[in-house]
C-alpha cells in the first residue's frame, strides 16, 4: 500500500519550479543570491553552516560557501542538481524539516479509506473526520533539533523553504485522496479541512522558527511572505510591520499568506534583527510573490547605538 510521500511530492514540485519561464526572475535572483552570499562570505569557517531548502542551488551561491557548509532538502534530486550546477558535492540531509509530514500523510491516508476494504470513503465524511484529527497533530522538527544539537552550526540559512511547508502539507493530504478533490469548492462555504491544515502549518512554522532561535546560530532567512494572484500590477510601499500594508495596486488584490497567519517578526522576540528586506518576485503570469529576507543575530548580540539607529531608519532595508 503506497501512501503519500514528501520526497516524491517535492521532486515533482522542483521539476515544475525549474521548468518555469525565468525571464522575469533576474531581480529576485540577484537579491536572494546577494543576501545569502553575504551570509556565506561572513561565516566563520571553523563551524558548520547549514543551508535549508537548498534545492538545486539556483538561489544559493555555493561558490561562496565555506568548506563546512551542509545542504538540507528532502527532494531526493536536490544534491545531485546542486553538484551539477555548482561542481561541488556538499554533505546533505534529506529529511523533512517540519518533522511532521509523515504523520500528517499517514493520518490522511488512513482517514481517507475504509479500514476493512481499503477503499476510499465518501469524501465529505472523510474530510470532516480528517479535519478533526489534524487538529490533534503537533508537528515538531525533531530531526532538525537533533542535527543542530550534534553539529552546532554557527550560521543557518533558510533558502526559501518556510513558505513551502503549507504547500507540502496540502500535497500530502491531496495524495491521500488519490485524485479526489478533498477541498470545499464553493469559496463562500467554510472548509474545515483547509482551516485545520492552515492551523497545522502555522504550528509547524512556529515550531521550526523556535528550533532555529534555540540553536543560538546567526540566522539568515529568506521566504515567501505573501502571494498575489491575478495580473493586477503590484508594487511595495515603505516597510511596514504587516507585509499586506505595504501592497500598492490599482485595483483590489487577491493575496494569500503562505505562513498561515504566523508573523516571523513577532516570533523573534528580543533577538536583534539587522537586515529586513522585502521585494517583489514575478514568479509566473498571474502569480507574484512578496519575498522577505531577515538576519536574526544570536542571543546577546550587541549593536552600537549607530548600528541600531541606522537599522531603525531602514538603512538596511
Ligand atoms: C522554493 S524551493 C527553494 C529553491 C532553492 N533555494 C534553490 O536555490 O534552488 C524550496 C525547497 O525546499 C524544499 N522543501 C520544501 N519543504 C521541505 C521540507 N518539509 N523538508 C525539507 N525540504 C523541503 C524543496 O524540496 C525545495 O527544494
pLDDT: which is higher, 150 or 315: 150
Domain membership of residue 317 (yes or no) is: no
Q: What's the mean pLDDT in 9-24?
A: 91
pLDDT-based confidence at 316, cuts 50/70/90? very low
Q: Pocket of ligand 1, candidates 22, 61, 73, 221: which has the most ligand atoms within 8 Å of its Cβ, to mutate?
A: 73
Domain membership of residue 244 (yes or no) is: yes
- Does 176 sit in the ligand 1 pocket, CB within 6 Å? no
51 has pLDDT over 70: yes
Q: What's the mean pLDDT in 2-25?
A: 89
Task: Supply the pLDDT for residue 123.
Answer: 84
- Does 75 sit in the ligand 1 pocket, CB within 6 Å? yes
Task: Supply the pLDDT for residue 303.
Answer: 73
78 has pLDDT over 80: yes
Q: pLDDT, tens digit, for every residue of 289-314?
A: 999 999 999 988 877 655 654 444 44
Q: Which domain holds residue 152?
A: 6-312
Q: What is the number of structural domains in the chain?
A: 1
- Does 160 sit in the ligand 1 pocket, CB within 6 Å? yes
Q: Pocket of ligand 1, candidates 15, 55, 227: which has the most ligand atoms within 8 Å of its Cβ, to mutate?
A: 55
Q: Percentage of the chain surpassing pLDDT 90? A: 79
User: For the chain, what is the mean pLDDT?
Assistant: 92
Q: What's the mean pLDDT in 133-153?
A: 98
1 has pLDDT over 90: no
pTM: predicted TM-score of the whole model, two decimal places: 0.94
Domain membership of residue 87 (yes or no) is: yes
CATH number at 287 reads: 3.40.50.150
Domain membership of residue 147 (yes or no) is: yes
* Strands 254-256 and 247-249, bridge-based pairing: unpaired
Domain membership of residue 1 (yes or no) is: no
Task: Supply the pLDDT for residue 173.
Answer: 95
- Does 161 sit in the ligand 1 pocket, CB within 6 Å? yes
The lowest-confidence range among 28-37, 194-203, 226-235 is 226-235
Q: pLDDT, tens digit, for every residue of 86-115?
A: 999 999 999 999 999 999 999 999 999 988
117 has pLDDT over 60: yes
65 has pLDDT over 70: yes
Whether residue 121 contacts residue 113, with contact meaning beta carbons closer than 8 Å, is answered with yes
Amino acid at each position: 500500500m503506497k501512501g503519500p510521500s514528501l520526497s516524491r511530492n517535492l521532486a515533482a514540485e522542483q521539476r515544475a519550479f525549474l521548468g518555469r519561464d525565468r525571464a522575469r526572475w533576474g531581480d529576485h535572483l540577484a537579491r536572494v543570491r546577494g543576501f545569502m552570499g553575504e551570509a556565506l562570505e561572513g561565516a566563520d569557517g571553523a563551524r558548520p553552516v547549514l543551508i535549508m531548502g537548498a534545492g538545486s542551488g539556483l538561489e544559493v551561491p555555493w561558490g561562496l560557501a565555506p568548506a563546512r557548509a551542509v545542504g538540507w532538502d528532502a527532494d531526493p534530486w536536490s544534491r545531485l542538481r546542486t553538484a551539477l550546477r555548482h561542481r561541488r558535492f556538499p554533505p546533505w540531509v534529506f529529511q523533512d524539516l517540519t518533522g511532521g509530514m509523515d504523520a500528517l500523510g499517514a493520518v490522511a491516508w488512513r482517514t481517507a479509506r475504509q479500514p476493512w476494504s481499503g477503499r476510499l470513503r465518501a469524501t465529505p465524511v472523510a474530510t470532516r473526520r480528517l479535519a478533526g484529527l489534524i487538529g490533534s497533530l503537533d508537528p515538531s522538527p525533531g530531526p532538525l533539533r537533533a542535527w543542530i544539537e550534534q553539529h552546532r552550526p554557527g550560521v543557518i540559512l533558510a533558502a526559501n523553504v518556510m513558505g513551502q511547508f503549507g504547500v507540502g502539507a496540502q500535497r500530502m493530504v491531496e495524495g491521500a485522496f488519490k485524485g479526489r478533490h478533498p477541498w470545499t469548492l464553493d469559496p463562500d462555504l467554510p472548509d474545515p479541512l483547509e482551516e485545520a491544515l492552515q492551523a497545522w502549518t502555522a504550528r509547524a512554522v512556529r515550531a521550526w522558527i523556535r528550533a532555529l532561535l534555540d540553536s543560538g546560530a546567526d540566522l539568515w532567512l529568506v521566504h515567501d511572505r505573501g502571494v498575489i494572484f491575478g495580473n493586477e500590477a503590484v508594487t511595495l510601499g515603505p516597510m511596514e510591520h504587516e507585509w499586506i500594508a505595504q501592497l500598492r495596486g490599482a485595483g483590489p488584490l487577491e493575496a494569500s499568506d503562505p505562513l498561515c497567519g504566523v508573523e516571523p517578526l513577532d516570533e523573534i522576540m528580543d533577538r536583534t534583527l539587522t537586515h529586513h528586506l522585502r521585494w517583489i518576485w514575478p514568479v509566473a503570469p498571474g502569480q507574484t510573490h512578496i519575498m522577505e529576507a531577515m538576519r536574526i543575530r544570536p542571543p546577546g548580540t550587541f549593536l552600537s547605538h549607530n548600528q541600531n539607529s541606522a537599522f531603525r531608519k531602514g538603512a538596511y532595508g
